Structure 1
Amino acid sequence: MSATAKKTAPLPDDIRAMKGGVPIVSLTAYTTPMAQLLDPHCDLVLVGDSVGMVLHGLPSTLGVTLGMMILHGQAVRRGLSRAMMVVDLPFGSYEESPAQAFRTAARVMAETGAGAVKLEGGRGMAETIAFLAARGVPVMAHVGLTPQSINTLGGYRVQGRGAAADAILADARAVAEAGAFAVVLEKVPARLADRITAEVAIPTIGIGASSGCDGQILVVDDMLGLFTAFRPKFAKRYATLGDDAEKAVEAYAAEVRARAFPAAEHVFGDDAPGATS
């Protein structure tokens, strides 16, 4: 193979093979420009249903529709060339039955070009994961805090403390045995995340879990400081783009009101450049 051959996006089996190796780098994206920024650096890009909160102003992920996920998936796909794209299945689009989940996942993959889908749930979704995997749909699972279930979980609380740890471990084992190629561990104690990572055969991808996971994911708007409505404890801000953008808009507004913008270099004269008469 030529040393200059273009790197292709990893497949689910490639992600699975990263278990125990160099940590998997993952972020969310919802637009083409953001996907283009992430593509050189990420192994996996998730079109998350967090789009409902960070871009559409929804109070939770529960109002996100299948149409929204497909639209944003198509946008992200246009910005990727080397990272694998995974698309979230939104609330209400897969829980009814394995057959419903297959119809939804097949449509998402066909219309977005996604390499896999992600769904929330542990033991209760094992049958569905097995059904999808047997029919050619790669599945990334998601256990611990599952945002689509906040009304039954009592909010965005840490999951798996004390005696509850065994249930989260059982969930992770169940999705791995059902055929998921990776599992997101959200907002679980670090010791539990390390135990799950050691005991399941598929990669664990942490968000508010442990540095010992096989990979990490963050909502890109949290990481860049673009989403400022609230700041999860686990979301390190690597930039403050929201603050920078606000300052830029303030400066623009001031210059417009003072007639300082547009200046001479931003407007056009009567003659074309280089005209002799």
Structure 2
Amino acid sequence: MLTSYDALTAGVLDQAGARALLVGDTSGEMVLGDPSTVPVTMEQLVPMVRAVVRGTRTALVVADLPFGTYQSGPRQALVNAVRHLKEGGAQAVKLEGGRAVIPQVSALVAAGIPVVGHLGLTPQSIHALGGHRVQGRGGAGDRLLEDALALERAGAFAVVLEAVPAELGRRVSVSLRIPTVGIGAGPDCDAQIMVWQDLAGLTTGRAPRFVKRYAHLAGTLGDAADRYAGEVAAVRYPERAHTSV
């Protein structure tokens, strides 16, 4: 599973064999330049969902419910989840939280909307959590497991586990009948997800421990742009081959 926010990238990832694409509120940081996921709105995310769906042929497209679009209750969650399916074309939605959002999950499932839960480090609650810190240590691990079981009982078909100890990732994975999707939760989860810009090395600076860069696109793109600028300045581009006749 990978994130995606546009049709072209979705097509590449889909053809590469990604089983699912998440149109995440990480778009706030990766696309819009926001400092966190908190400012993202439905108006910003729905067009990205629609673009990813248009670029995808086989992968499951899951759309995030942004902060403030489901916290007030089941009705608000249903209205916004329906938008993702009707306007965006998504096949499922994801929302953060455990037992506190069970009424929302139950309402969405009852309406026929597939739901992915999200536990551990929940970025929409980053201010309450005190930053990007590993979650679920000690007794908090027991509470996280109870949250995961509650999400399963409410009808969620999968649960993302973010930034939790590997042992807790294993414990939750063997306790649930539904799949777990890990991001910094160890190798025993049923699936793994990563932000595609992290995977491709397009992001720079210090990365979370769980990030593995499989390419270095920031350098490649920077080199291409530098060569282009140099050729334009030297009047070496466009050449005859690149000029209409």
Please, what TM-score do these two structures have when normalized by structure 1?
A: 0.86
Residue type of the alignment partner of 2:111: R
Identity of aligned residues (%): 48
The secondary structure found in structure 2 opposite 1:61 is coil
How far apart, in 2, do the equivalents of 1:207 and 1:61 lie? Answer: 16
Residue type of the alignment partner of 1:185: L
How far apart, in 2, do the equivalents of 1:142 and 1:106 lie? Answer: 19
Structure 1 segment 211-226 matched on structure 2, within 5 A:
211-226=187-202
Deviation of residue 230 (structure 1)? 4.1
The secondary structure found in structure 2 opposite 1:140 is strand
Deviation of residue 74 (structure 1)? 0.5
RMSD: 1.1
Deviation of residue 176 (structure 1)? 0.9
Indicate the residue corresponding to 1:17 in structure 2: none
Residue type of the alignment partner of 1:89: L
Indicate the residue corresponding to 2:85 in structure 1: 109
How far apart, in 2, do the equivalents of 1:54 and 1:101 lie? Answer: 24
Query: Is 2:44 the counterpart of 1:38?
Result: no
Indicate the residue corresponding to 1:187 in structure 2: 163
Deviation of residue 265 (structure 1)? 2.2
Larger displacement relative to structure 2 (38-47 or 194-203): 38-47
- Runs of 4+ displaced beyond 4 Å: none
- Tell me if structure 1 keeps the 8 A contact 2:117–2:151: yes
Query: Is 2:221 the counterpart of 1:237?
Result: no
Larger displacement relative to structure 2 (227-236 or 109-118): 227-236
Match of 2:39 among 63, 66, 74: 63
Please, what TM-score do these two structures have when normalized by structure 2?
A: 0.97
Larger displacement relative to structure 2 (195-204 or 223-232): 223-232
How far apart, in 1, do the equivalents of 2:88 and 2:140 lie? Answer: 37
1:227-252 per-position Cα deviation (integer Å, ceiling 9, x unaligned): 22542211111110111100111111
Indicate the residue corresponding to 1:19 in structure 2: none
- Tell me if structure 1 keeps the 8 A contact 2:73–2:103: no
How far apart, in 2, do the equivalents of 1:69 and 1:170 lie? Answer: 30
Structure 1 segment 192-207 matched on structure 2, within 5 A:
192-207=168-183
Indicate the residue corresponding to 1:137 in structure 2: 113
The secondary structure found in structure 1 opposite 2:221 is helix
Indicate the residue corresponding to 1:151 in structure 2: 127
Residue type of the alignment partner of 1:245: L
Query: Is 2:208 the counterpart of 1:208?
Result: no
Query: Is 2:4 the counterpart of 1:29?
Result: yes
Deviation of residue 115 (structure 1)? 0.7
The secondary structure found in structure 2 opposite 1:141 is strand
- Tell me if structure 1 keeps the 8 A contact 2:108–2:114: yes
Deviation of residue 58 (structure 1)? 0.3
Please list every run of 5 or more consecutive structure 2 residues that lacks an aligned counterpart in the other structure. none
How far apart, in 2, do the equivalents of 1:238 and 1:123 lie? Answer: 36
Indicate the residue corresponding to 2:229 in structure 1: 253
How far apart, in 1, do the equivalents of 2:10 and 2:194 lie? Answer: 14
Greater C-alpha radius of gyration: 1
Deviation of residue 263 (structure 1)? 2.2
Indicate the residue corresponding to 1:127 in structure 2: 103
Indicate the residue corresponding to 1:77 in structure 2: 53
How far apart, in 1, do the equivalents of 2:134 and 2:188 lie? Answer: 18
Indicate the residue corresponding to 1:93 in structure 2: 69
